[in-house]
Every structure is written in C-alpha cells, then in structure tokens.
C-alpha cells in the first residue's frame, strides 16, 4: 500500500486500488508468464500516475494499492469469486487455482484488510466532501473494441457522476458515458459503496482507457483534463453553507 499526501487539505480523498503489478515473492509469480504479469489483467496501467497528478493538483490524500489485483483485487469483497481470479481476461492464473477457503481468507486478511483499514483511517481523520477512485481499462476486452474513452461510475447516487459527465461533454474531447465500460452490476463499485455511500460521502469512480494514459506525460495530461470534471462533480454535491 502507498499513501500520498496523508495530510492533504483538499476536500477529496483519492483511491487507486489497482495501482501496482507487484506479486510478492511468496506467491511465486502466480505461475504467470512475463506478458501476463505485466498486462492490464494484473493492474490498471497508467491509473497511479493519473491519481498522483490529481493528488498534487487537489492537495488530496491518495491511498493506492501496492500488490497486483491478481493476488487479491482490492475492489472486491472476499465472497466475490473474482477477488482472487483463476482467469482474468485472456490469461489463466495457475497460482489462484484450487485455493482452499482458508487460503482465500488468508489473502483477504493479508492484503484487503490493511488497505481498507488505512483508507478508513484517512476518512475517519478528516471532513471529506467526496471520495474519488481512479481506474483504467483496456481498449479491447475479450476481442470486442470499446467505444467509450472515459467512464464516470457511481454505485447508487449518481449526482457526482452526472455533473462530472456533463462537464466532460462540455469539453468535447473524449467519448464519455455513465457506468461504462463497467457498472455496479459488474461488482466494480465495491469501494464506492464501502467507504463512500456507507458513510454518506458522495463518491465517483473514473475509468480511463489505458492507451490514453500509458506514459507519464499522457497520464499527467489526462489528470489535467479530468480536473474540471471532478471540480464540477464536487460542486454538485457540496453542502450549502448555512446563511450567516
């Protein structure tokens, strides 16, 4: 796990669950070849650099995962079978096959629990206006090209996502949509539900096509592009101040 700007004074807390392709030595590479281990199946390419640039721009705390989602997907509860996938996209994951419930529980306790405890601690220690998670996705998934370039996702409360999408479309640069290329029905809004909506904190998940953020420069440029949409989303859910 990586913490950036833990004492940031901005109104948003940022999360990047799939920030790293690292597989700790005790998992023996999960039996993956180098292509699979470095692919988007293992992590969200470019997402961490986008999140880091946004953290700097917003003076926002950022909690980022430090272990590949193929070891444990931090955006999934233990009961989700794809929390520890036996297959992801086109890649088999031999090291995840045939695990006992005790082995799954051990990964949950070693990886999921410290990450979410750290995020909860950040949220407990501050007054937070919104929770924003940063992800990336592949241009082609299981052989099917995707039309969307940026997705604004929500779990149940769409206010922040609606406003962010409107601001995005006003810029007119990228093809964008709500709850695309995934949505709550795919189980991807776990963190939003667990730490945002459960606390009554407005929340937003941003998905960016990974070929648009594959380098440090393009990731930083995307962060600058996303900034107005995040600000619009934040303004839409801001609590009106009491009249003085």
Calculate the alpha carbon distances from 104 to 34, 96, 184, 223 in Å.
24, 9, 23, 35
Judge whether 171 lies within some domain.
yes
Over residues 66-80, the mean pLDDT reads 98
User: Under a CB-based contact definition with an 8 Å cutoff, are residues 45 and 164 in contact?
Assistant: no
Give every CB contact of residue 135 below 8 A, 6+ residues apart in sequence. Answer: 16, 17, 18, 44, 47, 188, 205, 206, 207, 208
Q: What is the pLDDT of residue 90?
A: 85
Residue 244: inside a domain:
no
Closest CA to 99 of 36, 38, 31: 31
pLDDT (0 to 100) of residue 241: 44
Q: Is the pTM of this model over 0.85?
A: yes
Q: Which of 68, 75, 85 is nearest to 116 (CA)?
A: 75
Q: What's the CA dihedral at 65, 55, 195, 136 to 10 degrees? A: -60
Please report whether residue 34 resides in a domain. yes
Work out the pLDDT band at 242, boundaries 50, 70, 90.
very low
Mean pLDDT, the chain, as a whole number? 95
Phi first, then psi: what are they for 201, rounded to 5°?
Answer: -100, 125
Q: Helix, strand, or coil here: 182?
A: coil
Q: In the predicted model, what is the mean pLDDT of residues 106-134?
A: 97
Structural tokens at position 5: 């700007």
**pLDDT over 90 at 5, yes or no:** yes
Read out DSSP for 10-48? SSEEEEETT------GGGGGGG--HHHHTSTTTS-TTHH
Give the count of domains, the chain: 1
How far apart are the C-alpha atoms of 205 and 185, rounded to whole Å?
A: 14
- Domain, as residue range, for 164: 2-237
> Is position 206 within any domain?
yes
Phi-psi label, residue 46: left if phi above 0, alpha if psi -120 to 50, beta otherwise: left
% of the chain beyond a pLDDT of 90: 93
Question: Which residues are paired to 15 by β-bridges?
Answer: 63, 133
Percentage of residues in the chain having pLDDT higher than 70: 98
C-alpha to C-alpha distance for 85 and 9, rounded to whole angstroms: 37
Task: Give residue-wise pLDDT tens across range 160-210.
Answer: 999 999 999 999 999 999 999 999 999 999 999 999 999 999 999 999 999
Which CATH number goes with the domain that contains 124?
3.40.630.40
Assigned domain for 243 exists: no
CA-CA-CA-CA dihedral for 91, 100, 107, 88, to nearest 10: 10
**Residue 89, in any domain of the structure:** yes
Tens-digit pLDDT profile for residues 24-41: 999 999 999 999 999 999
Predicted confidence (pLDDT) at residue 154 exceeds the cutoff of 90: yes
243 has pLDDT over 60? no
User: Which H/E stretch holds residue 57?
Assistant: helix 47-58
Give a yes or no: residue 242 inside a domain.
no
**Which pLDDT score is estimated for 244?**
38
- 157 part of a folded domain: yes
């Amino acid at each position: 796990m990586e913490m950036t700007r833990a004492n940031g004074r901005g109104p948003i807390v940022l999360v990047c669950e799939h920030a790293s392709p690292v597989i700790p030595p005790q998992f023996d590479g999960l039996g993956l070849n180098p292509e699979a281990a470095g692919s988007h199946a293992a992590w969200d390419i470019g997402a961490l650099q986008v999140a880091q640039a946004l953290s700097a721009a917003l003076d926002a705390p950022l909690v980022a995962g430090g272990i590949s989602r193929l070891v444990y997907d931090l955006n999934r509860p233990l009961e989700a079978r794809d929390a520890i996938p036996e297959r992801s996209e086109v890649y088999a994951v031999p090291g995840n096959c045939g695990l006992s419930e005790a082995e799954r529980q051990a990964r949950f306790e070693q990886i999921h629990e410290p990450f979410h405890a750290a995020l909860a601690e950040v949220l407990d220690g501050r007054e937070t206006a919104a929770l924003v998670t940063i992800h990336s996705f592949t241009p082609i998934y299981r052989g099917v090209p995707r039309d969307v370039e940026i997705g604004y996702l929500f779990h149940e409360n769409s206010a922040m996502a609606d406003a962010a999408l409107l601001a995005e479309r006003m810029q007119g640069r990228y093809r964008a949509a709500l709850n695309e290329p995934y949505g709550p029905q795919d189980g991807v809004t776990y963190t939003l539900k667990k730490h945002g909506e459960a606390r009554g904190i407005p929340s937003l998940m941003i998905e960016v096509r990974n070929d648009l953020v594959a380098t440090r420069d393009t990731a930083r440029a995307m962060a600058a592009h996303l900034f107005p949409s995040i600000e619009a989303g934040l303004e839409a859910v801001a609590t009106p101040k009491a009249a003085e």
